[in-house]
Amino acid sequence: MAKRKAAAEKEASPDRKGSLVVVESPTKAKTIGKYLGKGYTVKATVGHIRDLPQRELGVDVEKGFAPKYVTIRGKGKALAELRRAAKASGRVFLATDPDREGEAIAWHVAEQIGDGAKVRRVLFHEITQDAVQAAMKHPVKIDDRKVEAQQARRILDRLVGYKASPLLWKSVKTGLSAGRVQTVALRLIVEREEEIRAFQPQEYWTIEAQCEAQGKQFTAKLHKIAGKKPELHSRDAAEAVVREVKGRPFVVSEVTRKERRKRPPAPFTTSTLQQEAAKQLGYSSQRTMRTAQQLYEGVELGDEGAVGLITYMRTDSTRAAPAAIDGVRGFISHEFGKKYLPEKPNVYTNRKAAQDAHEAVRPSDVHRRPEQLKKYLSAEQFKLYQLIWKRFVASQMTPAVYHTTTIDFPVGQARTAERVPAPYLFRAAGSVVVFDGYHVLYREGHEVEEGLTLDDLAPVPALKEGDQADVRDIVPSQHFTEPPPRYSEASLVKELERLGIGRPSTYATIVSTLRARDYVRVDQRRFHPTDLGATVAKVMVSRFPDIFNVGFTSEMEEELDKVEEGELGWQKVLANFWHPFADALGKVDTKEMIREAYDVEHLDTTPCPECGGKLTVKSGRFGPFIACSNYPECRYTKPLKRDKAPDRPTDEVCKECGAPMVIKTGRYGEFLACTRYPECKHTRPIPLGVKCPTCGTGDLAERRTKRGRSFFGCSNYPDCRFSTWYRPVPDTCPRCGYLGAEKRATKARGEYRKCLKCEHEFAVPEGTPATIAP
């Protein structure tokens, strides 16, 4: 290692003055400094050093959208140190992250340092000794097109933020923000909530035959009625079919056997990493990216020192370097055997809009197994590294192979001469694993969420045409159609990527901003829009329907990509956006926005209580308010608040003062409050009609963690500490008779119940509308 370091120093150092290497973070600086050794000074900018000013627009629209950059507050000292270090160095290598943001930081540093002849750009796609030394041997110029793409995005976001946000301050509330991409993401969440609220469950029935043959029990489901998909929308219709079928023979008419091969998933992109980390680890997008950044920049591995464990984590590509492919194929062959190694490397196709600037997210060295590094990593670093490592290794393994069998049982008399199918066709289906393939190492998030394993696959008897099965029972089951599920963090990121909204580097910021602004809350890992979020989406979309639009936002992302590719000028992109946006701004009536946000039509008929004059809505420093139109003669004002749901009476009694309690609506939903407020401030969650299975006396109710996550606990806390993440419902367990079960659901099983007492799992009782969406 010492010889390699000395050789690298000799080749890369231009003179005795030494070289300055500029990176973004101190951790990255420490790791890279170890690889470069003497003759190199490594300093960190700690993020951006220059940006648009905070307290003004900072963009001259009339002069070709010229930006005004200023040194970020608090970064003056760091910038001065960089200037001094650059002056004392023979060469300056700008090694900020290899993406648009990193390119922009490098450009700003170069602008401030000056003396462009000695400034070069280096790109570290992974931070290992070989990768760092190879990059230092091949410096490049700063990519002006990438800088222009980042600049165009920054100016776009500034124009929207500084022009649209003040409209929210005047019409809804001070301190709110609108964002070019953020508001579109909020719109998706709000519109999904509207779909759910408008959804009307439709009843339908399925019929299953409990059969036995060759000593094996299996299920055959009603597959067709008179050659068409069954449509049974009532108990009467289902029971009529049962009466028709009962007692008739189930004779096999056709057996179909097929082989199904399930290919391993591609290595991670930023989007799929965030999705799988949310599903399998419960990590937010922000937590995933923060942890991935740590793994990329370097972790101390004992005597080996700091090592970058993964490649760059902001990417939309599934491509891996040939050397990495060769390495993982050798590892698979040695560790798992030839049968798990395909003849040729697996190749994955990127999605259409992918830029393919970087490799997929993968381990920098596949031979660094997670279990070997566990003692050096934090718990969250270990879990994420293990996920990335397993996904990459699995991506180059052989498919899992299944044998699937379907058996058809036509029931009832068919008119063969007229080629009319039998009235009822029942079908049994089963699968068996022939070869586990990549599943020996890795399972995808949806399989983990649903608790699926290879052992869950059920074979069917080896019947042939003409064989008959014994029918033990014909069982009709009631179901209800389900509304679309609310977005989870994983499904929202997936939808944003599918629609072309945002880019890998922005997904985490979009989600965290919505939460920070209180536009959404998270309940059981699903996004619910708050009243504030719904109002913001409503007034922004109604005033700017063509701007905060999925199609328009996606087109803007494509145009920014074209700027980076040199196909479109950055000022042209800004002009395409600005002109329709400015036209829409000019048509905004703030008073109409206030009326829409607060529903204040009643003001037209409500006189001023002090002078009898007409009341009107005005905008002030702290948002909109009601005022008398006779100002300044009459100074009557009143705060303007959105109407809240009226209090609802209950039979509950306050445990502190004995007064009746009512149901109120707060930031996190409904709760019980004493009617003697503010004299008595007692509140408590609304009981769910289920007694605590631990103490037997307390009521189970919804509660929240310090971070706002919903869970369900006993009202006798802290004396009783029972809790569960699943909503308790008052359904009776058919095994032990306990009144209380967890409401659970998976895509494979649909909704079901799990007894709080004996943990027996059972079907949703008949007559209960099932809703998978929390």
> What's the burial of 90, exposed, middle or buried (CB within 10 Å: 0-12/13-18/19+)?
middle
Half-sphere exposure of 133 toward its Cβ, with a 13 Å CA cutoff?
18
Tokens in use for 569?
């000028």
Q: Are strands 91-94 and 648-653 parallel, antiparallel or unpaired?
A: unpaired
Q: Which of 133, 129, 139, 161 is nearest to 58 (CA)?
A: 161
Residue with tokens 């003497």: 38
Residue 610 is which amino acid?
Answer: E
Identify the helix (H) or strand (E) that includes residue 493: helix 489-499
Residues 120 and 139: beta-carbon distance below 8 Å: yes
Does the active-site annotation cover 507? no
Q: Are strands 648-653 and 637-639 parallel, antiparallel or unpaired?
A: unpaired
C-alpha span between 284 and 146 (Å, rounded): 28
Residue with tokens 């509660």: 703
Residue with tokens 């990509």: 561
C-alpha span between 774 and 772 (Å, rounded): 6
CA torsion 677-682-685-689 (nearest 10°) is -100
Catalytic residue among 296, 312, 424, 598: 312
For the four alpha carbons of 699, 700, 701 and 707, in that order, the dihedral sign comes to positive
Q: Which of 676, 649, 679 is nearest to 664 (CA)?
A: 649
Three-state DSSP state, 45:
coil
C-alpha span between 739 and 760 (Å, rounded): 12
Residue with tokens 């879990």: 383
Q: In the β-sheet with 750-755, what is the strand arrangement from edge to edge? A: 728-732, 739-746, 750-755, 761-763
198-203 long-range Cβ contacts below 8 angstroms, 24+ apart: 199/483, 199/484, 201/480, 201/481, 201/482, 201/483, 201/769, 201/770, 201/771, 202/233, 202/480, 202/481, 203/233, 203/234, 203/478, 203/479, 203/480
Distances (CA, A) of 404 to 217, 450, 747: 17, 21, 20
Provide the H-helix boundaries in 298-408.
Answer: 322-335, 370-373, 379-395
Q: Where are the beta strands (DSSP E) in 582-636?
A: 615-620, 623-628
C-alpha span between 129 and 305 (Å, rounded): 11
Residue 491 is which amino acid?
Answer: S
C-alpha span between 338 and 113 (Å, rounded): 55
Q: Where are the beta strands (DSSP E) in 412-519?
A: 424-435, 468-480
Q: Which of 198, 187, 183 is nearest to 773 (CA)?
A: 198
400: phi then psi, degrees, rounded to nearest 5: -80, 140
Find the angle CA(747)-CA(749)-CA(754) to the nearest 5 degrees. Answer: 115
Distances (CA, A) of 495 to 182, 184, 433, 671: 14, 12, 32, 33
Residues 427 and 220: beta-carbon distance below 8 Å: yes
Residue with tokens 């328009």: 552
Residues 728 and 741: beta-carbon distance below 8 Å: yes
Q: Which residues are catalytic?
A: 312
